[in-house]
Structure 1
Amino acid sequence: MLFALICTDKPGKLQLRADTRPEHLAHLQALNDDNKLAFAGPFLCAEGKPNGSMVVLDAPDMEAARALADADPYAKAGLFEKVEIRQWNWGINNPANG
C-alpha cells in the first residue's frame, strides 16, 4: 500500500538540506531499486527554493512506512520540523493501472 510522507523543513535549514542531499538521493535510489518508492520531490517556497519534501512509499503498513521515513538522511540530520505520514490511494494517472 502507498504512504505519502509530507515533510516540512525547519526554518533556516536550506544549507543542511544542500549538505545532506547526496545521501538523501542515494537513499531514495535504494528505495527505488527495491520497488519501495513511487515518486518523490521537494516542495518549493515562493522564491523557488526547497522547503520540504513529498515522498510516496510502497510499504506493507504504517510501521514499515515510518521506519523508511526515519531512515532518510534528511530525517536523521534533523532537517524536518514536521513529517506527516498518510496512507494514500493513487487513483488518477497511476501507471500501474495503465
Structure 2
Amino acid sequence: MLFAILCNDKPGHLQLRLDTRPAHLDYLNNLGERLKFAGPFLDADGKPNGSLLVIEADHLDAAKGIAAKDPYSLAGLFETVDIRPWNWAINNPANS
C-alpha cells in the first residue's frame, strides 16, 4: 500500500533543514524501492519549507515508523506531519 507523507516545517527552521539535509537524503536513499518519490515544498521565495514523500508500506503503523526515523523528524524540523493512504492512479510506472 502507498502512503503520502506530507510535512510542514516549523517557521524559521530553514537552517536546521539545510544542516540536516545530507542525513535526510542518505536515509531516503537507503529506503530503496519503498520510496516511490520525494521532494520539498517551496515557499514564495523558492526556499524549501516542507516535504512530500510517497512510500510503500504494509500498513499505516509501518509508514509512521518510516516517517519517525527520518533525520528531519528526529531533528524536530516539522511542525506537522500528515500520513495518508494514497492511490497512484495516473502515470504510475507500475501500470506501464
Instruction: Report the TM-score, using the length of structure 2 for normalisation.
Output: 0.99
Identify unmatched segments of 5+ residues in structure 1: none
* Secondary structure class of the residue paired with 2:12: coil
Paired position in structure 2 for 1:38:
36
Counterpart-to-counterpart distance in 1, 2:38 and 2:72: 13
Paired position in structure 2 for 1:62:
60
* Cα offset, 1:88, TM superposition: 0.1
- RMSD across aligned C-alpha pairs, in angstroms? 0.4
Paired position in structure 2 for 1:22:
22
State, as a whole percentage, how many aligned pairs show the same letter. Answer: 62
1:81 aligns with 2:79: yes
Counterpart-to-counterpart distance in 2, 1:71 and 1:57: 13
Identify unmatched segments of 5+ residues in structure 2: none
* Cα offset, 1:94, TM superposition: 0.1
Instruction: Report the TM-score, using the length of structure 1 for normalisation.
Output: 0.97
